[in-house]
Structure 1
Amino acid sequence: MKRIVSTFILFLFALSLHAQTNPKADPSKIAYGDNKAAGNYAKIRGMNMYYETYGEGKPLLIIHGNSGSIGDFSKQIPYFAKKYKVIVADSRDHGKTLDTLNMVDSLSYEQMSDDYAALLSHLKIDSAFVLGWSDGGINGLLLAMRHPEKVKKLAITGANLWPDTNSVEPFVLKYFDGIKKYYDKQKPSIARTVLLRHFNLLLTQPQIKPASLAKIQCPTLVMAGDQDVIKVAHTLLIAKSIPNSNLWISPNSGHGFLVLRSVDKFNVEVDEFFQRKYKKIAGRDLFQN
């Protein structure tokens, strides 16, 4: 079990390090997630939420995944900051937003989506484009459901509606359950508290009914890799359940394709979605579009 845990921690560290220091992805070598020039704290909902802003233009909120942070998007921030005002934050109990750890309440996606709505209000942003990866995609869905006025357009990748073998590859659930059981037995520490909250989140949440996605009225781009940890059939279900949705399944791709191998394609696809007018295709247009 120690070997499994070490492998997982090393994977997260390597992914974050790759995202932050790869010179091709970040030619300006900005330390995203630790940039004093762009960083600040928002005192909202009983916590200090750390966030950074980049660029000018229409606001774009980018939301990271489980055990992630702002630094995961070092390949998206410089691209989108050329034409948008990019807002990236460390979610509750993640990154530098850790002053919630002494609270007795458990972590939930609903809490986190409400946090992001409050952050936009704190920044005096009425509505924004929203991009979410993995748990960030779940937060994006809930943000559009619970605070529809805040989301102009939504793009999500690698999100799920519930955590079982119908939605997630069985290996993944077994893998994280094993790590959680390992940390259950360890001595109390901040690291243990953080990881247990994250794993509990992955293994027990969300619990979103497909029919409830009909509340999402904004245009939505639903994405995943064709070999994602989230099953393609489940991603298709999400897209079918949202009234104004587009679907993109990236070929030969896993859960992290947006930061590891298909960065340019991903950024362009999302950018084009935000820029174009959404339309329903029907009748003869089905042959021509």
Structure 2
Amino acid sequence: MTNWTQDNAGNGQYAEVNGINLYYESHGAGRPLILLHGGLGSGEMFGPIIGQFADGHRVILVDLQGHGRTADIDRPLHITFMADDVAALIDHLGLEKPDVVGYSLGGGVALQLAIRHPAKVGRLVAASAGIRRNATYPEILEQQGQVGPEAAEFMKETPMYELYSRVAPRPEDFPRLLGKIGEAMAKDYDYTEEVRNLQVPTLIVAADADMCPPSHFVEVFELLDGGLRDGGWMGEGRPKGGHALAILPGLTHYNLFMSPLFAAAALGFVDATE
């Protein structure tokens, strides 16, 4: 069993949006905040820290295409498609510029949501989400190259399979999900120019021992006008777009998403009044 989920009562529903039957849960009350999970996970990944987010916010946990309780559909697994799904969910729910927090795959989706639909997003937190494929450590790229349908048998003892087999509408689709994830990770990408033009106030978050080196996330921050000069006594030298950077100590790519430190950093940013 995973240790991701805690006993937090949520209101699970489906929304027919953008050609997909998207599962989401609502927790708490207050200004809306959308939480987007990592690859091969679901909204349940945030179970250990959902209480922090839901204290003062209406938190909406979304299960992305082919993950958790959202069944796959006949299209590639790509962050731009999933970003459009979330944009359609925002419209479906009548949300007014919710804040969006995404981790790993969800961080990439969150960035694309802000790039493609900036008017729909309040503040953005993108955690553990590199913007260039070649920024990922070579040994991790090699491991990612081994992900495919044939890996399903080897993954049956992992938290990812335990979760999928327990909640997915079609548990037998796990090899299909691995195949699509593998195909997506094998494709080259570079979102430098798109990120450089981000109009949504964004917090870039990473673990100090993440899948990409800290220098990559500093590079992303520099694209957002950060880290280029002293911030000034009154903050006058901070990035013009309201962007920020957090490198979280003592964490890795594989435990950041359930760290209270991550929740505190994200909430400190989305709740800022500046």
Q: What TM-score, normalized to structure 1?
A: 0.77
From 90, 94, 119, the counterpart of 2:89? 119
Question: Which runs of 4 or more aligned residues in structure 1 lie more than 6 Å from their structure 2 counterparts after TM superposition?
Answer: none
For 1:76, what is the secondary structure of its paired residue?
helix
* C-alpha displacement of 1:126: 2.6
For 1:252, what is the secondary structure of its paired residue?
strand
Name structure 2 gaps, 5 residues minimum.
Answer: 155-171, 226-240
Q: Within 2, Cα distance between the matches of 1:209 and 1:79? A: 31
Show the counterpart of 2:104.
134
> Deviation digits for residues 111-168 of structure 1, max 9, x if unmatched?
000000001111001311110000111111110000001111011110011322xx11
1:63 aligns with 2:63: no
Identity %: 29
From 26, 29, 37, the counterpart of 1:53? 26
Q: Within 2, Cα distance between the matches of 1:88 and 1:43? A: 16
Aligned residues: 241
- For the 8 Å contact 2:208–2:214, the answer to whether it is kept is yes
Q: Within 2, Cα distance between the matches of 1:265 and 1:94? A: 25
1:266 aligns with 2:239: no
Aligned AA (1:252) = G
1:147 aligns with 2:117: yes
Matching of residues 182-197 of structure 1 within 5 Å: 182-183=150-151, 190-197=173-180
Q: Within 2, Cα distance between the matches of 1:203 and 1:18? A: 29
- For the 8 Å contact 2:4–2:48, the answer to whether it is kept is yes
Matching of residues 198-237 of structure 1 within 5 Å: 198-204=181-187, 207-237=189-219
Show the counterpart of 1:39.
12
- For the 8 Å contact 2:148–2:180, the answer to whether it is kept is no
Which structure has more RCO (C-alpha within 8 Å, separation ≥ 6)? 2
1:19 aligns with 2:1: no
Q: What TM-score, normalized to structure 2?
A: 0.81
Q: Within 2, Cα distance between the matches of 1:195 and 1:209? A: 24
Aligned AA (2:217) = T
Show the counterpart of 1:177.
145
Q: Within 1, Cα distance between the matches of 2:99 and 2:49? A: 14
- For the 8 Å contact 1:130–1:152, the answer to whether it is kept is yes
Aligned AA (2:264) = V
Aligned AA (2:120) = K
Q: Within 1, Cα distance between the matches of 2:148 and 2:201? A: 37
- For the 8 Å contact 1:217–1:242, the answer to whether it is kept is no
Q: Within 2, Cα distance between the matches of 1:259 and 1:178? A: 24
1:108 aligns with 2:78: yes
* C-alpha displacement of 1:202: 2.1
- For the 8 Å contact 1:210–1:237, the answer to whether it is kept is no
Q: Within 2, Cα distance between the matches of 1:134 and 1:148? A: 20
The answer to which of 212-221 and 146-155 deviates more is 212-221
Aligned AA (1:19) = W
* C-alpha displacement of 1:89: 0.9
RMSD (Å) for aligned C-alpha atoms? 2.2
Q: Within 2, Cα distance between the matches of 1:236 and 1:190? A: 38
Show the counterpart of 1:256.
254
